[in-house]
């Protein structure tokens, strides 16, 4: 076999082919994202508190922002206290006359109207008072008849004038006695209708209804069937309270006394009904301090239209003691994260940043801002929970990588 040595051209071709193969092996394949033209974030510091939300997503989430500004907000004093019945709307019911309990119609917890019968008693004293009235009524009728006959005799010149005057005087005395016994029956609870029936029928009825003097709810009952009750008993047979209004007795420290006065508005809340608030007004401030605690009490009249509040409940009380101009944040812009408050501030058309915020006591529907925001910051006031969810999802995604 005849061998031939490579010439210069063959050596050059081989070298070119070798270089081309090396170049191909050094070229890396493109990623799917690069192949499709997707935008990659530019390199730079990563902000864990920022979230990007497209304009379409903002519309779907009904995101709304509002630049915060300085405004007039209330200054409040926060304290605690306890609820009691409004003594101006409370009645202690006792019998007007001694007697034995015949019937009980109402008990604790029952709602009653003014004038509604609570119980009925039978009273010897009431029977005697009716008997005295009937006797006085008969005596009045008798003396009036005698006086009419004397008047006729005087016209006929059969008696002297002094005899007529004596008869007229007897009529006046009998009338006074009848009115006295009538008034006594009224004091014992005998109404006009029963009085008219007694005068017409002349039949004694010793039963006496015990009626509610005010509308409200029965809170105590100390009466049983057959029991003998008297007006001087230590305990009332019934206690009725109007639950639509209560008193909140707020505790005031000595240093706060100068800030609180009658007529100031107050908001009352209770642990029993979280999220519910009740409107009240300061009506009275105690004139002396308790020696052991060095505190005073402010009485706050609280409206309780749905009757959910009950006497003896503990209460948190916020009294409006003035106003101030401050940077104020709407309540809807304030979010909570592990007991820390924050808000979202829009920093770009599609960028929102989570900002820790410190606020003061709530004033109406606003919170005064103590730190974390400045006037003009465009704060998210609707849709913040959606942004919070997006930020949490982004955080979970980073942990997975």
Do 101 and 147 reside in the same domain of the chain?
A: no
- Structural domain includes residue 8: no
What CATH number corresponds to the domain at position 132? 1.10.287
Do 319 and 257 reside in the same domain of the chain?
A: yes
Do 373 and 384 reside in the same domain of the chain?
A: yes
Strand (E) or helix (H) holding 195: helix 192-201
The pLDDT value recorded for residue 222 is 94
The pLDDT value recorded for residue 216 is 92
Question: What residue ranges of the chain have pLDDT lower than 50?
Answer: 1-44, 399-401
Do 99 and 236 reside in the same domain of the chain?
A: yes
What DSSP assignment string belongs to 337-400? ETTEEEEEEEEETTEEEEEE-EE-S-BTTEEEEEES--TT-EEEEESHHHHHHHHHHHHHHHHH
CA separation, residue 330 to residues 60, 335, 359, 381 (Å): 22, 11, 11, 7
Three-class DSSP category at 146: helix
Do 283 and 299 reside in the same domain of the chain?
A: yes
206 in Cβ contact with 127 (< 8 Å)? yes
The pLDDT value recorded for residue 296 is 94
Do 198 and 262 reside in the same domain of the chain?
A: no
**Residue where a domain terminates, one of 287, 304, 324:** 324
| Assessment of whether the complete model's pTM goes beyond 0.85 | no
Rounded CA separation 367/282 (Å): 23
The pLDDT value recorded for residue 72 is 85
What DSSP assignment string belongs to 19-37? HHHHHHHHPPPPPHHHHHT
Strand (E) or helix (H) holding 104: strand 99-104
**Residue where a domain terminates, one of 271, 297, 324:** 324
The pLDDT value recorded for residue 7 is 43
Do 316 and 192 reside in the same domain of the chain?
A: no
Three-class DSSP category at 53: coil
The pLDDT value recorded for residue 32 is 36
Both tokens assigned to 202: 């002349």
Domains contained in the chain, number: 4
Both tokens assigned to 252: 């005031």
**Residue where a domain terminates, one of 324, 356, 377:** 324
Count of other CB atoms within 10 angstroms of residue 129 = 22
| Closest of 326, 324, 315 to residue 266, by C-alpha | 315
The DSSP symbol for 262 reads: T
Do 101 and 234 reside in the same domain of the chain?
A: yes
- Structural domain includes residue 200: yes
- Structural domain includes residue 112: yes
Name residues whose C-beta falls within 8 Å of residue 115's C-beta, 6 or more positions apart in sequence: 211, 212
The pLDDT value recorded for residue 398 is 54
Per-residue pLDDT tens for 201-249?
A: 999 999 999 999 999 999 999 999 999 999 988 889 999 999 999 999 9
Q: What is the CA radius of gyration of the chain?
A: 45
Do 315 and 333 reside in the same domain of the chain?
A: no
Do 291 and 331 reside in the same domain of the chain?
A: no
Strands (E), 105-153: 111-112, 117-122
Per-residue pLDDT tens for 262-284?
A: 999 999 999 999 889 999 999 99
Domain that holds residue 297: 77-86+242-324
């Amino acid at each position: 076999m005849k061998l031939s040595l490579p010439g210069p051209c063959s050596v050059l071709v081989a070298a070119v082919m070798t270089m081309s193969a090396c170049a191909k092996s050094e070229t890396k394949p493109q990623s799917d994202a690069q192949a499709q033209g997707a935008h990659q974030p530019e390199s730079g510091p990563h902000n864990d508190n920022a979230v990007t939300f497209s304009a379409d997503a903002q519309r779907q989430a009904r995101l709304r922002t509002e630049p915060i500004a300085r405004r007039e907000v209330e200054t409040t004093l926060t304290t605690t206290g306890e609820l009691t019945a409004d003594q101006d709307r409370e009645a202690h019911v006792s019998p007007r006359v001694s007697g034995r309990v015949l019937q009980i119609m109402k008990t604790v917890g029952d709602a009653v109207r003014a004038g509604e019968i609570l119980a009925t008693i039978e009273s010897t004293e009431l029977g005697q008072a009716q008997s005295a009235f009937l006797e006085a009524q008969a005596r009045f009728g008798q003396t009036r008849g005698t006086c009419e006959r004397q008047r006729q005799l005087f016209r006929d010149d059969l008696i002297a004038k002094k005899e007529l005057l004596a008869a007229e005087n007897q009529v006046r005395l009998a009338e006074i006695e009848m009115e006295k016994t009538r008034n006594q029956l009224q004091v014992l609870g005998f109404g006009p209708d029963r009085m008219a029936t007694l005068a017409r029928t002349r039949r004694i009825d010793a039963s006496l209804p015990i009626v509610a003097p005010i509308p409200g709810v029965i809170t105590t009952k100390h009466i049983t069937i057959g029991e003998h009750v008297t007006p001087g008993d230590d305990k009332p047979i019934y206690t009725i309270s109007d639950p639509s209004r209560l008193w909140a007795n707020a505790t005031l420290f000595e240093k706060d006394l100068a800030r609180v006065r009658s007529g100031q508005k107050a908001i009352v809340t209770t642990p029993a009904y979280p999220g519910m608030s009740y409107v009240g007004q300061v009506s009275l401030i105690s004139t002396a301090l308790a020696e052991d605690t060095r505190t005073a009490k402010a009485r706050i009249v609280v409206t309780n239209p749905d009757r959910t509040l009950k006497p003896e409940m503990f209460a948190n009380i916020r009294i409006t003691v003035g106003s101030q101009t401050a940077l104020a944040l709407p309540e809807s812009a304030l979010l909570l994260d592990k007991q820390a408050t924050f808000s979202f501030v829009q920093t770009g058309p599609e960028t929102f940043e989570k900002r820790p915020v410190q606020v003061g006591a709530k004033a109406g529907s606003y919170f005064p801002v103590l730190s974390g925001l400045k006037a003009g910051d465009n704060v998210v006031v609707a849709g913040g929970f959606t942004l919070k969810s997006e930020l949490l999802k982004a955080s979970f995604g980073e942990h997975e990588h």
